[in-house]
C-alpha cells in the first residue's frame, strides 16, 4: 500500500546547527504513527517540512503517493505545537472560518461546528467570543478546528503538551475514532507513555536522525527476549558470571536480568537449573517504549 507520508533523506540546518539530518520515514495509510524524541530532537522541524511551512535543504517529501500539490492542505488536519485562536471571533465564527479555508461551504461548516460543539459539551458557548473561554475549552476548540473538515491525514505536533487529563482523554478518543475511519494520523511527542498506548508504528529520532523505526509490536517482540524475570522458591544464586547475564537486579525472591546481545535465555535457564536453584518462574519481560528508546539512542551514539 502506498504510504500517506513518505520522507526521503531530508535535511535542515539553521546557521550551522543541523536540526534534521538525512531523515527518512514512511507513514502507512490508515495507521497511527508516532514521531518520538526528546525536546530539541528535530520533531517540530520535521513536521513543519511535511506541512510545507519550511523547505528542506535537501531531500523529498511525498504526500498521498506523490510530491506535494497545492490542494493537499485541504486533505490535512494540522495542529501545530504553538497554538492560537482569534480571540475576538465567536467560537462558531472561528470554526467556520477555518473550515472554509479547507474548502467546506459556509453553511455546511456551521452545521458541523454546532454538531461538534454539542459533542464536546460546549454547545452553549458557540456564540461567545473565544476570549471568554477557559484554557481547557480553547484546547477543545482547537481540536475541533483541526478535524472539522474531515481530513484524510491528521498531523499533530505535541498534541498532549499542556492538556488537562479530561482533554487528554478527548484527544486519545478522537485519534482512535479517526483511525477506525481509515484516517492516517502522524503525531510527534516526547511523552512516550502516550505513544505506547496509541501508536501502530513509530520512528524514534535523536539529534535529527532516526535511530529506530518500525511496527511498535514488532519492536517490542524483538527486544522482549533481552530481559527475563525470574522467580525463585528459595534463596537466589549468584547471577553474575552466568551465561548471557549483562546485568541483574535482585528483589527478595525475584531477579530481573538483562541479557547480553545474542544471548540465549535457554542457556541461562540451564545454568540456573545446574546450579541447584529452585526456579518457580522464568519469563521474558516486554520492554516499555522508554527503555527501547534509551537503548536505541545509546547504540546510535
Q: Give the model's pLDDT for residue 240.
A: 86
Phi-psi map region of 57: left, alpha, beta (phi>0 left; psi -120 to 50 alpha): alpha
From the CA atom positions of the chain, what is the Rg in Å? 24
Q: In whole angstroms, what is the distance from residue 153 CA to residue 260 CA?
A: 41
* Mean pLDDT, rounded, of the chain: 91
Residue range(s) of every CATH 3.40.50.300 domain in the chain: 5-220
Q: Does domain 225-300 have CATH number 3.30.70?
A: yes
Q: Give the model's pLDDT for residue 290.
A: 85
CA torsion, points 212, 64, 150, 130, in degrees to nearest 10?
Answer: 70
Span 174-184, pLDDT tens digits: 899 999 999 99
- Evaluate whether 230 touches 249 at the Cβ level (below 8 Å): no
Neighbouring CB atoms inside 10 A of 160's CB total 18
Q: Give the model's pLDDT for residue 289.
A: 87
Indicate whether 117 pLDDT > 90: yes
Q: Give the model's pLDDT for residue 94.
A: 95
- Evaluate whether 293 touches 192 at the Cβ level (below 8 Å): yes
Bridge partners for 258 per DSSP: 227, 247
**127 burial via Cβ count (<10 Å: 0-12, 13-18, 19+):** exposed
3-class SS of residue 101 = helix
The number of angstroms, rounded, from the C-alpha of 299 to the middle of its chain's C-alpha atoms is 21
Say what angle helices 135-147 and 106-119 make with each other, to 10 degrees.
130
Span 2-23, pLDDT tens digits: 899 999 999 999 988 999 999 9
Indicate whether 298 pLDDT > 80: no
Q: Give the model's pLDDT for residue 279.
A: 92
Indicate whether 222 pLDDT > 80: no
Q: What's the fold here for domain 5-220?
A: Rossmann fold (3.40.50)
Is the pLDDT higher at 205 or at 263? 205
Indicate whether 225 pLDDT > 70: no
- The mean pLDDT of 149-178, rounded to a whole number, is 90
Among 42-51, 240-249, 286-295, top mean pLDDT goes to 42-51
Indicate whether 1 pLDDT > 80: no
Q: In whole angstroms, what is the distance from residue 80 CA to residue 136 CA?
A: 17
- Percent above pLDDT 70 for the chain: 99
Residue range(s) of every CATH 3.30.70 domain in the chain: 225-300
Q: In whole angstroms, what is the distance from residue 274 CA to residue 151 CA?
A: 61
Q: Global pTM?
A: 0.84
Indicate whether 224 pLDDT > 90: no
Amino acid at each position: 500500500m502506498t504510504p500517506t507520508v513518505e520522507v526521503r533523506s531530508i535535511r535542515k540546518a539553521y546557521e550551522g546547527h543541523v536540526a534534521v539530518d538525512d531523515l527518512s520515514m514512511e507513514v502507512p495509510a490508515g495507521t497511527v504513527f508516532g514521531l518520538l524524541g526528546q525536546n530539541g530532537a528535530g520533531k517540530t522541524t520535521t513536521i513543519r517540512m511535511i506541512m510545507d511551512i519550511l523547505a528542506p535543504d535537501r531531500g523529498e517529501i511525498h504526500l498521498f503517493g506523490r510530491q506535494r500539490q497545492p490542494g493537499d492542505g485541504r486533505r490535512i488536519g494540522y495542529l501545530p505545537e504553538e497554538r492560537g485562536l482569534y480571540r475576538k471571533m465567536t467560537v462558531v465564527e472561528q470554526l467556520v472560518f477555518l473550515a472554509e479555508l479547507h474548502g467546506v461551504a459556509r453553511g455546511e461548516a456551521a452545521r458541523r461546528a454546532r454538531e461538534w460543539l454539542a459533542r464536546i459539551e460546549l454547545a452553549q458557548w458557540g456564540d461567545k467570543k473565544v476570549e471568554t473561554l477557559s484554557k481547557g475549552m480553547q484546547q477543545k476548540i482547537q481540536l475541533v478546528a483541526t478535524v472539522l473538515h474531515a481530513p484524510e491525514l491528521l498531523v499533530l505536533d505535541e498534541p498532549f503538551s499542556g492538556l488537562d487529563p479530561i482533554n487528554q482523554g478527548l484527544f486519545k478518543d478522537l485519534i482512535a475514532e479517526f483511525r477506525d475511519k481509515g484516517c492516517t494520523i502522524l503525531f510527534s511527542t516526547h511523552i512516550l507513555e502516550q505513544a505506547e498506548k496509541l501508536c501502530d508504528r513509530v520512528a524514534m529520532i535523536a539529534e535529527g536522525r532516526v535511530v529506530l523505526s518500525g511496527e511498535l509490536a514488532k519492536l517490542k517482540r524483538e527486544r522482549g527476549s533481552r530481559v527475563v524475570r525470574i522467580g525463585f522458591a528459595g534463596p537466589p544464586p549468584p547471577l553474575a558470571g552466568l551465561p548471557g547475564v549483562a546485568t541483574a537486579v535482585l528483589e527478595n525472591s525475584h531477579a530481573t536480568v538483562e541479557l547480553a546481545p545474542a544471548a540465549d535465555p535457554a542457556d541461562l535457564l540451564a545454568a540456573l537449573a545446574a546450579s541447584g536453584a529452585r526456579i518457580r518462574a522464568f519469563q521474558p519481560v516486554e520492554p516499555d517504549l522508554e527503555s527501547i528508546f534509551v537503548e536505541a539512542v545509546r547504540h546510535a551514539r
